[in-house]
Amino acid sequence: MVDVPLGPTGAVAPADVEDVELYHPHSWVTKYVFSQDAKIIAIQYSFVALSVGLIALVLSWLMRLQLGFPGVFSFIDANAYYQFITMHGMMMVVYVLTALFLGGFGNYLIPLMVGARDMVFPYINMLSFWIYLLAVLVLVASFFAPGGPTGAGWTLYPPQAILSGTPGGQDWGIVLMLASLMIFIIGFTMGGLNYVVTVLQARARGMTLMRMPLTVWGIFTASFMALLAFPALFVGAVMMLFDRIFGTSFFMPAIVEMGQPLDRNGGSPLLFQHLFWFFGHPEVYIVALPAFGIVSDLISTHARRNIFGYRMMVWALLAIGALSFVVWAHHMYVSGMNPYFGFFFATTTLIIAVPTAIKVYNWILTLWRGNIHLTVPMLFALAFIVTFVNGGLTGLFLGNVVVDVPLSDTMFVVAHFHMVMGVAPILVIFGAIYHWYPKVTGRMLNDTLGKLHFWVTFLGAYAIFFPMHYLGLMGIPRRYHDIADMSFVPPSAHTLNAFITIVALIVGATQLVFVFNLFWSLRHGRPSGGNPWQATTLEWQTPETPPPHGNWGKDLPVVYRWAYDYSVPGADQDFLPQNQPGITRTVPGSSHG
Amino acid sequence: MAEQALTDLRTTHNEASGLRSVAADFSSDRQAFRNVSWGKAMMWIFLLSDTFVFSCFLISYMTARMSTTVPWPNPSEVFALTIGGVTLPLILIAIMTFVLISSSGTMAMAVNFGYRRDRKKTAVLMLVTALLGATFVGMQAFEWTKLIHEGARPWANPWGAAQFGSSFFMITGFHGTHVSFGVLFLLIIARKVWRGDYDHERRGYFTSRKGRYEAVEIMGLYWHFVDLVWVFIFAFFYLW
């Protein structure tokens, strides 16, 4: 299937596309600051995204301090608490995870993995980063604006998002948030078009779509989805800005605020929820699919075994991507929409479990009888599988209307989505950084620090989020500033909350070990050589490490096989790089194998 | 079929037809869309994304129109003009639509002459397209002015549901912005054509890439898209 030699002569198809014209920077500024090189842009994206991640991490500490020790920290009043929630959520989902996976990993890995010299439009790619940075600055500016950032919750539901009772509702907060989102979407569109077109139109000779590493498939599918999902958020943001600034009533029904009827009527708050979740649900998979792809490559490489069911893995990615556009209203079971919708959306939601299960089984079967190396990236990849299955199982509860209704807006929901789209993708991000750091810098990250970081993060994440399921089942609501006075809450729940907070502080602090490792290894890490993991994919076969501008030197690579030729019987070494001609074999599990 | 395509990539591609050729293209190396340049592929995918933006706008408008508690104004009356004592419903919109559709025609001719390397005719036709586009935006400005004088605001209007004005200013404004950007880029590309940039493969100021006449066609794709969107806005906002 995937590694049949191209053409009867065994040769590779002739080059009928010219080599690209590459932009050549002339000064330090155009080389490292306003750089058009996808690799530099990737590092810029990652650095900004990780910095935003640290801010969002501190915000989560502040929330946990309030929940664990209510009333002890007087500066965390109800308003501040809601502001922290909102900013933590929006930052993590959009400005960290999306930007890191697509802007960071996408920029670094796509051109290298498909054998291109750069993205197809480097100039637009550069603009994408600077617009993203602008969006981040606008967002962070809201901390310093009068009234502070918006406290509307990361879903920004109207009408409360733009009413005076909500922090930032009638101040700058919500305006800056919406503006920042719109700027982010414009910037992302520039990047996303680049990622998609590079994968479709700029691959190396011999690199067919079905020979691409799953990392590229994941990032490609996610980018394409993002191009179709972000428009809904964009439109929602425009309309809410109209409501907030011009006093229109797109989302505002007739409403009484502080005893005063407002001059609004006839709008539909539900409309915003539909727009938001038409973006919001695909967004979950925009974050998850790159993680799926990366984890497939990590597992295959570190278990020295070809990925099981490659073709099914690709189709599962595409199926999940397509299905994720028809499940959005499962976030709205208690919103008061037509109950028949609930039936439809519960059905589509549960259907998504099929391709997802295919992926999980294939990961496990890849590991089966593999030569598993428990390297730091592999530990993170294995942890991802466990965490993702856990988070996915609670998704089955929340996907069913009757089970969801009593669980809505409890800590169970918080536990579910943090497991499935918080912890799981972050674990992959860490694994991927440990895996690709040697390619980016030429040095290995410190192994001991890495293992310390892994175990504390992995076990800690479970200690934090597992108990939340119980709190949720007990009926502890989420987004409540203070539950101390609720009579149905037993003292043990408060003890548990304090425990969670302490663990969260420890896990958060451990991330500093990781940050330290990133900087320390830059100079003191063990030199890695070009291919420390003995991986097959193209980015490890570059003539120099770190790859220079243009990636490949004089000649572009030529691809002769798929990305997963590990432990091939009869081969001299236990991996065959994609650009190595010679030995071919039939892949087990292929259609004519 | 896919195996066949892979085993003998080149020949299959040449002989295949219909769905088989689609499969052959997608299973080929280097390019999924054969002989489609990067710029053109990028524009098509951007337009797909933009389609979602306008669809969301139009669907939101329809939702607002259906859920509002106050009756919707009658567009035929609101957008009527009295010319020489005769009240003509939608007359300005009809002229605007005619102008914009005509500009699509001149754009298509520009693309045609571009591929014939006819520098002057291409540039002139692009300028005519830009002029028609600017006329459209100008008439839209006139329409806005007229409605604002009559008391229409985004948050209220004298004829009925407030969402009428909100949707009107938002959607036509967003479309008008698209047309304005289109005019701007038409002028830039027309200048490049006129100067002979594409004949001499002069490098772009920002991108340092060689210029090609294909830029005219890519510009055309965008322009036709903006026209097509207007047809939907015309149908759903003015005729409904």
| A527 bridge partner residues | A443
B1: pLDDT strictly greater than 70? no
The answer for B 8-47 residues in CB contact with A (under 8 A) is 8-10, 26-33, 36-39, 41-42, 45-46
Q: Does B31 share its domain with B41?
A: no
End-to-end CA distance of chain B: 48
Report the distance separating Cα A215 and Cα B115, nearest Å.
39
- The arithmetic mean of pLDDT across residues A213-229, rounded, is 97
How crowded is residue B158: how many other Cβ atoms within 10 Å of its Cβ? Answer: 11
Among residues A494, A470, A458, A468, the alpha carbon closest in space to that of A383 is found at A458
Helix (H) and strand (E) counts in chain B: 9, 2
Instruction: Summarize pLDDT for A411-440 with one digit per residue, the tens.
Output: 999 999 999 999 999 999 999 999 999 999
Three-class SS state of A527: strand
Q: Predicted confidence band at A247 (pLDDT cuts at 50, 70, 90)?
A: very high
User: Using one digit for the tens of pLDDT, what is the confidence trace for A386-410?
Assistant: 999 999 999 999 999 999 999 999 9
Model confidence over A97-151: pLDDT tens digits?
A: 999 999 999 999 999 999 999 999 999 999 999 999 999 999 999 999 999 999 9
| pLDDT over 70 at A212, yes or no | yes
In chain A, the N- to C-terminal Cα span, in Å, equals 8
Q: Could A7 and B32 be called an inter-chain contact, meaning their C-beta atoms sit closer than 8 Å?
A: no
Q: Are residues B97 and B28 in the same domain?
A: no
Residue B84: what pLDDT? 84
Whether B31 and B84 map to the same domain: the answer is no
Same domain as B77, residue B143: yes
Q: Is B205 on the interface with A (CB under 8 A)?
A: no
The tens digit of pLDDT for each residue in B16-75 reads 678 888 888 888 888 898 888 999 999 999 999 999 999 999 999 999 998 888 999 998
pLDDT at res. B15: 59
Domain check: are B119 and B221 in the same one? Answer: yes
Nearest-by-CA chain B residue for A4: B7
Domain spans, chain A: 35-252+267-541
Number of residues that make up chain A: 593
Q: Quote the pLDDT of residue A3.
A: 46
In Å, how far is B131's CA from the nearest CA of chain A? 28
Contact A200 B32 (CB under 8 A): yes
The pLDDT score that the predictor gives to residue A583 is 61
With beta carbons under 8 A apart, name residues in chain B contacting A223.
Answer: none
Contacts A236 to B, Cβ<8 Å: 56
Mean pLDDT of chain A: 92
Q: Binning pLDDT at 50, 70 and 90, where does residue B201 land?
A: confident
User: Is the domain of B87 the same as that of B11?
Assistant: no
Measure CB to CB from residue A242 to each of B27, B56, B170 and give the nearest one: B170
Predicted confidence (pLDDT) at residue B3 exceeds the cutoff of 70: no
A18 close contact with B: CB closer than 8 A? no
For A229, name the nearest residue in chain B, comparing CA atoms only: B52
Q: Please calculate the CA angle B66-B70-B76 and round it to the nearest 5 degrees.
A: 75
Together in a domain, B30 and B45: no
Residues B160, B211, single domain; the answer is yes
pLDDT at A556 over 70: yes
| Domain identity same for B46 and B20 | no
B205: domain CATH number is 1.20.120.80
What is the per-residue pLDDT for A317? 97
Is the separation of the CB atoms in A69 and A79 below 8 Å?
no
Asked if A248 lies within 8 A of B163 by C-beta distance, the reply is yes
User: Is the Cβ pair A206, B29 closer than 8 Å?
Assistant: yes
Domain span at B6: 1-35
Q: Write down the mean pLDDT value for chain B.
A: 90
- When pLDDT is averaged across residues A503-528 and rounded to a whole number, the result is 96
Q: Are residues B77 and B176 in the same domain?
A: yes
Let me know: does A468 contact A414? Beta carbons within 8 Å.
yes
Mutate: best of B28, B35, B49, partner A, most A CBs <10 A: B49
Inspect the interface and report whether the beta carbons of A239 and B174 lie closer than 8 Å.
no
Residue B29 has its nearest CB partner, among A194, A205, A248, at: A205
Per-residue confidence band for B202, with pLDDT thresholds at 50, 70 and 90: confident
Spatial separation of the C-alpha atoms in residues A358 and A307, rounded to whole Å: 13
**What is the reported pLDDT for A593?**
35
Alpha carbon separation from A409 to A58, A150, A417 (Å, rounded): 23, 20, 12
Torsion sign over Cα A491, A495, A496, A501:
positive
Summarised one tens digit per residue, pLDDT across range A269-289 is 999 999 999 999 999 999 999
> A470 with A477: CB under 8 angstroms?
no
Residue B88 shares a structural domain with residue B138:
yes
Which residues on chain A are in Cβ contact (under 8 Å) with B36? 201
Chain B residues with beta carbon closer than 8 angstroms to that of A227: 45, 48-49, 52
Query: Which positions in chain B touch A591 (Cβ < 8 Å)?
Result: 3
* Number of compact structural domains in chain B: 2
Band the pLDDT of B4: cuts 50, 70, 90: very low
SS3 (DSSP) at A446: coil
Q: Which residue has the tokens 């097959």?
A: A536
Instruction: Quote the pLDDT of residue A459.
Output: 97
Q: Does domain A35-252+267-541 have CATH number 3.40.190.150?
A: no
**B contact residues 136-175, partner A, Cβ 8 Å cutoff:** 153-155, 161-163, 165-166, 170, 174
- A569 pLDDT above the threshold of 90: no
Overall average pLDDT of the A471-478 stretch:
94
Size of interface A-B (CB pairs under 8 A): 170
